[in-house]
Chain A
Amino acid sequence: MSQLAEQKENLLAPGHNACSGCGLVLAARLVLNAAGPDIIVTNATGCLEVTTTNYPQSAWRVPWIHSLFENSSAVASGIEAALRAQGRLGKIKVIAQGGDGATADIGMMCLSGMWERGHDILYICYDNEAYMNTGIQRSSLTPFDASTTTSPSGKVSLGNPTLKKDMPAIALAHRLPYVATASVAYPQDLEKKVKKALSIPGPKYLQIHSPCPLGWGFKTSLTIKSAKAAVQTGLYPLFEYENGKLISVKKIAKPQPVEAYLKDQVRFRHLFRDEAGKTQVEKIQESANENIKKFGLTG
């Protein structure tokens, strides 16, 4: 049985200000409980940091540091170096965290440096697909056609015009020994991946799909359903790479059409109004099909 349910005390305590139904804070709680207490955690600016450390209270029951928006990975590098100098690195693990904006945009420089230098750090990207803390602005991990406040759908716009930056591919280009994606819809899978990552020396990357009820536009009770649909349509493939080789994928028994995922989110609602939207949905279906083929998600 997974350790997740046995945890007597959550290492991320309740009483924080994350939204009701927040997928990100669920992912963080699962990560911490899987990792255990002998960790030091760095965190970028964002929802997770702001909602959990409203002085004088803190929800973190592990040593935790927030510096700036872009430097979670660089601060973690310094912590790892200090632990190494102090001879305590094996006993204590270092986890660096950030949202999609902090990871793929403003934090790219520091992240690439940390990976290139080969620090023994697990980097976790909580992917809720936009700058949620500042009010739902577009990031480079915002999916194609998603409506955000800085890529809104409108009379001459169909939402975000770019494809998600392929962060796992960038991680693989840095020769990371472990690169994986996970989802809050599959908590045991997430736990296994965190544990495996922490057992591998060197830099690791884990990207966790974390639906945001407020930002994506769905009822707070549907966070898990939404995350599951993303996986089951092939839009968010769950996979593991070890030493550059694809070693596992989450198979999809019966791939769902992308509408099953898109139509219940306000951020994609504009795609279901007219012919232009229909064409976009077809494009999105193509990309899902490509994922299914590329990763062998069926059969």
Chain B
Amino acid sequence: MKKFLEGSQAVAEAVKLCKPEVISAYPITPQTHIVERLSQMVADGELKSEFINVESEFSAASVILGASATGSRAYSATTSQGLLLMAEVLFNLAGMRLPVVVTCANRSVSAPINIWNDHQDVMAIRDSGIIQLFAEDNQEVYDMHLQAYRIAEDPQISLPVVVNMDGFILTHAYEPIETLTQKEADDFLPPYSPERKLDPARPGTFGVLADPNWYLETRYAMQKAQEAAKRVVKKVASDFKASFGKFQGDVIESYRLEGAQTAAVALGSLVGTLKDVIGEEREKGKKIGLLKIRCLRPFPEDEIKEALKEAENILIFEKALSLGSGGIIFHEVRSALYTSPSRPNLKCFVLGLGGRDVPKSSLKKTIESFSPAMPDLNFVDLKEEQIKEHLYVPVS
């Protein structure tokens, strides 16, 4: 059934269908609407869940850790500072192999404080062992949450999943969403019933001390689980198609990359804008396509290599960077292409940080001005006058 929903509402509706037994909530812009809507659902008896108003995001993650360890499906949502605050627990969740799902309404990080969208928050937990998915639009956000629990709870995987959606751009945007019934959701997502859980009937010890003789293998196992997760992400996507008739999911999406000399690479809602731009550029005769990375962890190296094999010029658009190094996706993609027979020109374009608007004109200008002689790291729509006047940058 098609409904006109705000992005946050789409999340709440999808999460409701997943029937988490425990939800922990702490307010932080721009995810707050998600937990508010869930709270109303619980208050109206629409959703039977223990809704725990915690005193910080650190506790939000700890509460779902305890709930998941006790065998209950659990959920929380956060962003930016909240994600950073719960980082210690997120690593703990991954290490304990607990399949919770957390929505991250991607937002910039302090300092300075900024409540608008970019991807710096989730990049901070990139290496944690958590599965990281990025949604392009709110339909994908909705579908992704159902798929996320299927992926997380796969007994071979048993890792937490963070579903990333751009703060404000998606959370606060109204879109028509094709929604599912509870029965359809139940058929797609079975109840969570793990073998290992805290239960006096079968006492077990969680969160042990592993000394140098024992620790290494836990990380090896997590790496293998991440690698297996790639297969599971794809399988869940094809199961989704079998159940609901449309393909949604997979680790990447290739958009008009056949015969494309130029390729753009992006994550999240920027993909939507880029698809428009590419349509217009193609009409002008430019052979350009787009690689959408939907799953960042596990990193779909083979799929990326295959998708970009024809491209000579690659523009990597990123809403984050590794300060002191450069583009994060840039380095990962360039590394993936290292063993390719061709040597494409790759450049990184950092944009949209702190929620700075990314109009189509800026993207077009970037594409048109692309040159192999450009530096590796470029900042789109940088305001030069602000650098000189306000910030501590050595004057070269």
Give A residues with C-beta under 8 Å from B: 37-40, 42, 49-50, 53-56, 58, 60-68, 70-71, 74-86, 92, 109-110, 112-113, 116-117
Of the residues A38, A55, A61, A75, contact of B62 by C-beta under 8 Å: A75
- Complex Cα spacing A62 to B49, Å: 27
Say yes or no: B21 contacts A86, CB within 8 Å. Answer: yes
The contact string, 1 if C-beta is below 8 Å from chain A, for chain B 90-120, is 0010001000000000000000000000000
Say yes or no: B63 contacts A78, CB within 8 Å. Answer: yes
- Closest chain A CB from B321 CB (angstroms): 29
- Complex Cα spacing A68 to B71, Å: 19
Of the residues B59, B68, B203, contact of A77 by C-beta under 8 Å: B59
B315 on the A face (CB < 8 A): no
B205 on the A face (CB < 8 A): yes
Q: A75-B62, A82-B66, A117-B53 are in contact. Are A50 and B209 (CB under 8 A)?
A: yes
- Complex Cα spacing A113 to B52, Å: 10
Q: Which residues, 63 to 98 on B, are CB-close (under 8 Å) to A?
A: 63-72, 74, 88-89, 92, 96
B54 on the A face (CB < 8 A): yes
B285 on the A face (CB < 8 A): no
Of the residues B48, B58, B72, contact of A74 by C-beta under 8 Å: B58
B24 on the A face (CB < 8 A): yes
Residues of A within 8 Å of B88, CB to CB, are 68
B220 on the A face (CB < 8 A): no
The contact string, 1 if C-beta is below 8 Å from chain A, for chain B 46-60, is 001110111110110
- Closest chain B CB from A61 CB (angstroms): 6
Most buried by B among A42, A58, A113: A113
Q: A54-B211, A55-B209, A86-B71 are in contact. Are A63 and B200 (CB under 8 A)?
A: yes
The contact string, 1 if C-beta is below 8 Å from chain A, for chain B 187-211, is 0000000000011101111111111
- Complex Cα spacing A83 to B96, Å: 19
Say yes or no: A78 contacts B209, CB within 8 Å. Answer: no
Say yes or no: B71 contacts A42, CB within 8 Å. Answer: no
Residues of A within 8 Å of B203, CB to CB, are 37, 60-64
Other contacts beyond A53-B207, A65-B207, A113-B54: 15, CB < 8 A: A38-B200, A40-B198, A53-B205, A53-B208, A54-B209, A63-B198, A65-B66, A67-B65, A75-B62, A78-B70, A81-B21, A81-B63, A82-B22, A82-B68, A92-B200
A and B contact pairs by CB, cutoff 8 A, 9 listed = A49-B209, A65-B207, A66-B206, A76-B66, A78-B22, A79-B198, A82-B68, A85-B21, A92-B200
B214 on the A face (CB < 8 A): yes
Say yes or no: A113 contacts B55, CB within 8 Å. Answer: yes
Interface size class of B (residues with CB under 8 A): 35 or more
- Closest chain A CB from B69 CB (angstroms): 5
Give B residues with C-beta under 8 Å from A: 21-22, 24, 48-50, 52-56, 58-59, 62-72, 74, 88-89, 92, 96, 198-200, 202-211, 214
Residue of B nearest to A43 (CB): B207
Residues of B within 8 Å of A85, CB to CB, are 21-22, 48-50, 67, 72
Say yes or no: A83 contacts B70, CB within 8 Å. Answer: yes
Q: A78-B24, A110-B55 are in contact. Are A37 and B200 (CB under 8 A)?
A: yes
- Closest chain B CB from A67 CB (angstroms): 5
Say yes or no: A68 contacts B206, CB within 8 Å. Answer: no
Residues of A within 8 Å of B74, CB to CB, are 78, 82
Residues of B within 8 Å of A58, CB to CB, are 205, 208
Q: A78-B22, A117-B52 are in contact. Are A53 and B62 (CB under 8 A)?
A: no
Say yes or no: B56 contacts A77, CB within 8 Å. Answer: no
Residue of A nearest to B218 (CB): A55
Q: A38-B200, A85-B49 are in contact. Are A74 and B205 (CB under 8 A)?
A: no
Q: A55-B209, A63-B204 are in contact. Are A78 and B67 (CB under 8 A)?
A: yes
Residue of A nearest to B198 (CB): A63
Of the residues A50, A56, A92, contact of B214 by C-beta under 8 Å: A56
Most buried by A among B62, B204, B211: B62
Say yes or no: A64 contacts B70, CB within 8 Å. Answer: no
- Closest chain B CB from A5 CB (angstroms): 23
Residues of A within 8 Å of B96, CB to CB, are 67
Residue of A nearest to B23 (CB): A81
Residues of B within 8 Å of A77, CB to CB, are 52, 54, 59, 62-63, 66
- Complex Cα spacing A125 to B266, Å: 50
- Complex Cα spacing A58 to B209, Å: 10
- Complex Cα spacing A144 to B9, Å: 54
Residue of A nearest to B211 (CB): A54
